[in-house]
Amino acid sequence: MQIKMVKVQDLKPYENNPRFNDNAVEYVANSIKQFGFKVPLVIDKNNVIVTGHTRYKASMELGLKEVPCIIADDLNEKQIQAFRIADNKTNDMAEWNDDLLSIELKDVMADIDMTDFGFGDFELSMLMDDMEPESYDDELISKYSSNSNDFLVNKRVIITYKTSEETEFLKKILKEEEELGVVYKIADIMEKYDE
């Protein structure tokens, strides 16, 4: 398996790509700027992208002339279709270990702004301040991190805390003096936190 540099203008996005990736392009572009192009695209023998559409769009945004690619000439057409789907699906199934993620973030946050890569301020506060909510909606937090205001405007989240210390943390996040109930409209949280 060889990595080959291919001109961006010669690459062809797969026309039936089932993945919406526009929201990730900015963060992938930031990653490429910060760390370099470390993950090659996978293309077929006709330069059609198998995996790496987001990296391709980020490359276009950054004005890159060529990018590293792996040519999947060992796969037939059906295998390429299946690999394209499998690569995206297996990414969906991965989960964070919040304790280890918190440790890793604390090690890098003094030097690197992780909001450049899709972490939201609220999400980072939850991870960095050593305060663990009893429960919260991972999908909703993920949507918050991508600042999808249209999705959030009418959503509600319930955050429950076990200790008074954790209640104080919630008050700090919301910049409130008084103890509040546990049901908050997300748009209100965003408005208060961004002030």
Residues 133 and 152 occupy one common structural domain: yes
pLDDT band at residue 153 using 50, 70 and 90 as cut-offs = very low
Please give the share of the chain, as a percent, with pLDDT higher than 70.
65
Same domain for 85 and 122? no
| β-bridge partners, 160 | 135
H helix runs in 21-132, sequence order: 22-35, 53-62, 77-92, 98-108, 121-128
Take residue 140 and report the two structure tokens written for it: 């909703």
77, 122: one domain: no
Answer yes or no: do 151 and 109 share one domain.
yes
pLDDT higher at 146 or 110: 110
pLDDT tens per residue across span 87-103: 988 887 888 888 899 89
Are 69 and 107 part of one and the same domain?
A: no
The model's pTM is: 0.66
* 124 and 50 within one domain: no
Closest C-alpha among 58, 38, 30, 22 to residue 114 = 30
Domain interval for residue 183: 98-194
Q: pLDDT, tens digit, for every residue of 123-148?
A: 777 777 654 544 555 555 555 554 44
Question: Measuring CA to CA, which residue among 28, 32, 30 is closest to residue 19?
Answer: 28
Q: For residues 95 and 35, what is the distance between their CA atoms, to the nearest angstrom?
A: 23
pLDDT of 8-52, one tens digit each? Answer: 999 999 999 988 889 899 999 999 999 999 999 999 999 999 999
Is the pLDDT assigned to residue 63 strictly greater than 80?
yes
Q: How many domains does the chain have?
A: 2
Q: What is the end-to-end Cα distance of the chain in Å, rounded?
A: 52
Q: Are residues 30 and 49 in the same domain?
A: yes
Q: Do 139 and 186 fall into the same domain?
A: yes
> Are 72 and 149 members of one domain?
no
